[in-house]
Structure 1
């Protein structure tokens, strides 16, 4: 998750292509005939991909009032003589750009799916190369602004800076894109997706959504249940928690605490320290020889950073990088261990690589545009001090990040015109396959079970492992199940589990992890 969202893909791409659009009212989404004209995508790393642009209504209640652009990308089936159709992919977010995510993730899809399907993605409304929420005059201005805001505030002075900065960001966005801010909801993105399905001539939707993309998939499944032609939801957002069950009252918890993301991170960090402590330093640089000593080592490091930062590596920056490093086991866990060991020795780690700066930089404000407009959060910035205390009490140091990440919503200026808040149990044309790791640090196993429970017809595939989503933490077992499901509709057996291909700090930590007990680091429920 980025500074205020679930999964930010912080890079950019220039795409070519155009689309000829013929609009007429028809179908639940108001879609008529839409013809896509494909051309080779421009930009490094996009060889073999085709791009096009579709026009969709800004407001589906007024489909002829104003249109916005959606940039679409695809890779053709590599075995065209055996092609089945199109498989849509959403890389998460909110704010994840498919024109970035698909080229990065394409090689991770099972070979059978790449052979048999055109794999298609897009930049959702408000994001990336599509008509975008852009609150700065240039990417350089956006990067400079973000560099002056801490990952989360620690002192009272930092709290004033943090809250004032995000209030000012909201004013910027309201000034630059006031109408768009009210029309970037998941509901509207699901309607866009149905238009794209029709444009590609698909009778039903085949879809693989990860992270926030699971919420989009669940929304689509309930808006268009007869059009569900096999959906995989991987690394799940609990839809009821996201929308607070449609409640109009002030929420007690912010979005990420309702989702249990802080508890998922706490579970994952505990496993990181346990497995690192069992591994030699050659495998995990931060190992202190056993799990207890390794946990104590981290506690000591984080205890001294507030008063003695190492260069630019403050307590907040370090906690934020630990949280992000848990997402990808390989190479993320080993790199995080090396970062911590470097700080332990009083040396300055290398900063993570900066995203490319582009005038079409898909910025952090795009994530906020969706989340803050549709997911309820406390409206008083002062409430987040108490939420941080609550979260750190139940989830340890990482709780700071998850509590403050939603504070920008306190002063966000827009509310979504159209938000889907349920029901979530409409019967779909085909069962939905739900995939979740037991130690996912962002979309916890609890949320995966909630998604499987809340949708009408699902099968839960449990991954005994770590990291955020199965595409970024490969499992050949998951690949075989998903390929079989998309190609023939066969679901995994009830209660099926998969292992990941390579465990953390291999070969020194090979046992199957236990399912987390959900109690966080302190044992408090």
Structure 2
């Protein structure tokens, strides 16, 4: 999640994130937007997409789409959407276009789809043009940018605590920094701030669908992209050809049940604090169960490795290693759990370096995207998240929540991730808040990973239950999203569903191809070798609590 700096980082291999949101009234809220049944009528032609080879990688095509700032005022101000495409590699067997959202909010699809293109199942790459875009307010599209110069942005980042605040002085600095960010944003482009909601992006997506000539939508959304996909299904239920939602945010947790929105931030409603704590506990357990040759941070056993981590966190509270404070390390640890290979091994190496009093080495460089790397400041995620999702408006509440939480170090990370919304200056003009159970033209495939450090498996269960017609595919593995943590079993099911609409049998479970800190297992099919079974869905993992992380 990328609000206050924490989230799935902008590292090229991890390229996915979570995040963000809607509100808690009925249907599509906002003046004059909804037509019959809450679906805005397409009163203007679809945008023209003049595809050209992308400037930095000619394997991809780039285009810019013009869309209304306010879909309720299609003849008013227009904004740009930056769009990227990779054509089907077997054009003779091409089925159509697959739209992809990489999560966030704030994930630039023009960067993250190309970086993760090889992770799409082979048959999907062969048979679909894969199209992604920078959502409105983000990246190379018309973007929320609240600073006049890059130097101003860097000065703002340097002036606030990294990760989350620790102690009264840092809490005051943190709150003041995000209050100042909101003030800057409100001054620079207040109209844009009110029109970057998930509903706005779903309406953009429908225009892009029409622009490529597809009668129905084929879509894969990960993390925050699951809420975008569910919102599209609510607005355009008759336009669904195939919808894959991977690492889900429960709509009811996202919009907030009665009373929740004033008491709990979005990520605590979702349970991100508890699932991060549980996944961190599994990381330390599996690390400790192997030798230092398998996991360099191992202390010879699960209990001793958990104790080593606790002692490291205690030391960093007292004596940072360079700029690696306790809070920065916790945020890096949570983010490092997103991608199992090579993320867990690299995380172990960073923790070991800090244990030895050394500054960790630099991360692997980003791969070069096919477009110029865009600015993706905190304000882009905050504009979507804080405008859409109900969160407490009292900054003083967050310290009490972190002290009362059961998520330990990881819980502090997720508690503070939504605090910028306490002082955010605007609310989205148009928000979709349900219903979520409109019958869709075709059923939806929901994929949930059991040990996910961001979106709990229970959220995937809830998504499957709250949609009118959805099938849950369980990935009994680790990390954030099955797309970025490969399972040949999951890929086979996803491919079959996208190609011909075939759903996995009820209760199907899959395993990842390669377990953490272990040699890869033989790859196989759905029924054998690849980890696929049809049986009961496992229970959601229970968090371990602050004493064991």
Same fold flag (TM > 0.5): yes
TM-score, normalization: structure 1?
0.92
Give CA-to-partner distance per residue, 1:201-237, whole Å, 9 cap, x none: 0000000000000000000011100001100000111
- Larger mean CA deviation between 336-345 and 87-96 belongs to 336-345
Structure 1 residue runs without a partner (length 5+): 12-24
- RMSD (CA atoms): 2.4
The alpha carbon displacement at 1:249 in A equals 8.2
Greater RCO (CA < 8 Å, at least 6 residues apart): 2
The 3-state SS of whatever aligns with 2:220 is strand
- Larger mean CA deviation between 450-459 and 1-10 belongs to 1-10
Are residues 508 and 315 of structure 1, via their aligned partners in 2, closer, same or farther at CA, if it must alter by over 3 Å? Answer: farther
Q: Distance in 1 between matches of 2:78 and 2:317?
A: 49
The alpha carbon displacement at 1:471 in A equals 1.6
Are residues 198 and 387 of structure 1, via their aligned partners in 2, closer, same or farther at CA, if it must alter by over 3 Å? Answer: same
Q: Does 1:132 align with 2:143?
A: yes
The alpha carbon displacement at 1:493 in A equals 0.7
The 3-state SS of whatever aligns with 2:116 is helix
The 3-state SS of whatever aligns with 1:65 is coil
The alpha carbon displacement at 1:341 in A equals 1.2
The 3-state SS of whatever aligns with 2:73 is coil
The alpha carbon displacement at 1:522 in A equals 5.6
Q: Does 1:521 align with 2:521?
A: no
Q: Distance in 1 between matches of 2:169 and 2:547?
A: 32
Q: Distance in 2 between matches of 1:220 and 1:410?
A: 28
The alpha carbon displacement at 1:374 in A equals 0.9
Q: Distance in 2 between matches of 1:6 and 1:32?
A: 37
Q: Distance in 1 between matches of 2:375 and 2:11?
A: 8
The 3-state SS of whatever aligns with 1:317 is helix
Which position in structure 1 is the counterpart of 2:184?
172
Q: Does 1:485 align with 2:497?
A: yes
Q: Distance in 1 between matches of 2:138 and 2:348?
A: 33
The alpha carbon displacement at 1:389 in A equals 1.2
The 3-state SS of whatever aligns with 2:351 is helix
User: How does 1:48-447 map onto structure 2 within 5 Å?
Assistant: 48-150=59-161, 151-245=163-257, 251-352=262-363, 360-391=374-405, 394-447=406-459
How many residue pairs match? The answer is 505
Are residues 423 and 131 of structure 1, via their aligned partners in 2, closer, same or farther at CA, if it must alter by over 3 Å? Answer: same
The alpha carbon displacement at 1:508 in A equals 10
Give CA-to-partner distance per residue, 1:160-205, whole Å, 9 cap, x none: 1111011000011111111000000000100000000001100000
- Larger mean CA deviation between 56-65 and 138-147 belongs to 138-147
- Larger mean CA deviation between 143-152 and 102-111 belongs to 143-152
Which position in structure 2 is the counterpart of 1:17?
none
Give CA-to-partner distance per residue, 1:265-317, whole Å, 9 cap, x none: 01110110110011110110111111011111111111121111112111111
Structure 2 residue runs without a partner (length 5+): 13-34, 523-530, 532-536
Q: Distance in 1 between matches of 2:373 and 2:150?
A: 5
Q: Distance in 2 between matches of 1:197 and 1:88?
A: 8
Which position in structure 1 is the counterpart of 2:24?
none
TM-score, normalization: structure 2?
0.88
Q: Distance in 2 between matches of 1:30 and 1:57?
A: 11
